[in-house]
Protein backbone atom coordinates (compact mmCIF):
# COMPACT_ATOMS: atom_id res chain seq x y z
CA UNK A 1 0.00 0.00 0.00
CA UNK A 2 1.41 3.40 -0.96
CA UNK A 3 1.62 6.35 1.39
CA UNK A 4 -1.30 8.04 -0.36
CA UNK A 5 -3.41 4.89 -0.12
CA UNK A 6 -2.61 4.74 3.59
CA UNK A 7 -3.63 8.38 4.05
CA UNK A 8 -6.95 7.82 2.29
CA UNK A 9 -7.58 4.61 4.26
CA UNK A 10 -6.84 6.41 7.54
CA UNK A 11 -8.99 9.42 6.66
CA UNK A 12 -11.49 8.96 3.82
CA UNK A 13 -12.37 12.66 4.08
CA UNK A 14 -8.82 13.77 3.21
CA UNK A 15 -9.81 14.95 -0.25
CA UNK A 16 -6.36 16.29 -1.10
CA UNK A 17 -4.77 12.88 -0.44
CA UNK A 18 -7.53 11.21 -2.47
CA UNK A 19 -7.04 13.71 -5.31
CA UNK A 20 -3.28 13.14 -5.28
CA UNK A 21 -3.86 9.39 -5.27
CA UNK A 22 -6.19 9.71 -8.26
CA UNK A 23 -3.60 11.61 -10.28
CA UNK A 24 -0.90 9.09 -9.31
CA UNK A 25 -3.14 6.19 -10.29
CA UNK A 26 -3.85 7.82 -13.64
CA UNK A 27 -0.13 8.31 -14.23
CA UNK A 28 0.30 4.58 -13.56
CA UNK A 29 -2.35 3.71 -16.12
CA UNK A 30 -4.96 2.78 -13.52
CA UNK A 31 -7.74 4.85 -15.05
CA UNK A 32 -10.77 3.17 -13.46
CA UNK A 33 -9.26 3.52 -10.00
CA UNK A 34 -8.35 7.16 -10.63
CA UNK A 35 -11.89 7.86 -11.81
CA UNK A 36 -13.35 6.16 -8.77
CA UNK A 37 -11.38 8.33 -6.35
CA UNK A 38 -12.29 11.56 -8.11
CA UNK A 39 -15.93 10.58 -8.22
CA UNK A 40 -15.80 9.83 -4.50
CA UNK A 41 -14.61 13.38 -3.84
CA UNK A 42 -17.42 14.78 -6.00
CA UNK A 43 -19.92 12.59 -4.16
CA UNK A 44 -18.71 13.67 -0.71
CA UNK A 45 -18.03 17.36 -1.33
CA UNK A 46 -18.91 18.74 -4.75
CA UNK A 47 -17.38 22.15 -4.11
CA UNK A 48 -14.05 20.94 -2.70
CA UNK A 49 -11.06 22.87 -4.04
CA UNK A 50 -13.24 25.05 -6.27
CA UNK A 51 -14.73 22.02 -8.02
CA UNK A 52 -11.24 20.58 -8.51
CA UNK A 53 -12.19 16.90 -8.57
CA UNK A 54 -14.84 17.39 -11.24
CA UNK A 55 -12.51 19.55 -13.32
CA UNK A 56 -9.76 16.94 -13.11
CA UNK A 57 -12.21 14.23 -14.08
CA UNK A 58 -13.19 16.22 -17.17
CA UNK A 59 -9.51 16.65 -18.06
CA UNK A 60 -9.00 12.91 -17.76
CA UNK A 61 -12.01 12.18 -19.96
CA UNK A 62 -10.80 14.65 -22.58
CA UNK A 63 -7.32 13.10 -22.58
CA UNK A 64 -8.62 9.53 -22.70
CA UNK A 65 -11.20 10.17 -25.40
CA UNK A 66 -14.89 9.32 -25.64
CA UNK A 67 -14.47 5.63 -26.46
CA UNK A 68 -11.96 4.79 -23.74
CA UNK A 69 -13.33 2.19 -21.34
CA UNK A 70 -12.54 4.32 -18.28
CA UNK A 71 -14.42 7.27 -19.79
CA UNK A 72 -17.44 5.16 -20.70
CA UNK A 73 -17.52 3.33 -17.36
CA UNK A 74 -16.61 6.40 -15.31
CA UNK A 75 -20.14 7.52 -14.68
CA UNK A 76 -21.95 4.22 -14.54
CA UNK A 77 -21.85 3.83 -10.76
CA UNK A 78 -22.63 7.44 -9.98
CA UNK A 79 -25.56 8.26 -12.24
CA UNK A 80 -27.68 9.45 -9.29
CA UNK A 81 -25.16 12.27 -8.75
CA UNK A 82 -24.29 13.43 -12.25
CA UNK A 83 -24.21 12.64 -15.89
CA UNK A 84 -21.44 13.08 -18.41
CA UNK A 85 -22.04 14.65 -21.78
CA UNK A 86 -19.95 15.95 -24.59
CA UNK A 87 -20.97 19.37 -25.87
CA UNK A 88 -19.11 21.08 -28.70
CA UNK A 89 -16.04 18.84 -28.42
CA UNK A 90 -15.84 19.38 -24.64
CA UNK A 91 -16.73 17.03 -21.81
CA UNK A 92 -19.10 18.28 -19.18
CA UNK A 93 -19.93 16.62 -15.89
CA UNK A 94 -23.32 17.87 -14.78
CA UNK A 95 -24.16 17.44 -11.13
CA UNK A 96 -27.71 16.68 -10.11
Q: pLDDT tens, 35-84?
A: 999 999 998 998 999 999 989 988 998 898 878 888 777 755 444 445 55
Q: So what's the pLDDT on residue 80? A: 47
Domain ranges, ordered by start, for the chain: 3-95
pLDDT score of 3 more than 50: yes
pLDDT score of 88 more than 50: yes
Specify whether domain 3-95 bears CATH 1.25.40.10: yes
Distances (CA, A) of 75 to 6, 28, 39, 49, 58: 25, 21, 8, 21, 11
Span 23-36, average pLDDT: 96
Distance CA 31, CA 21 (A): 11
Amino acid sequence: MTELEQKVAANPLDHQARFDLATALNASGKRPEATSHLLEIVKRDRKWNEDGARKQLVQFFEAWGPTDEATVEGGSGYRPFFFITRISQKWTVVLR
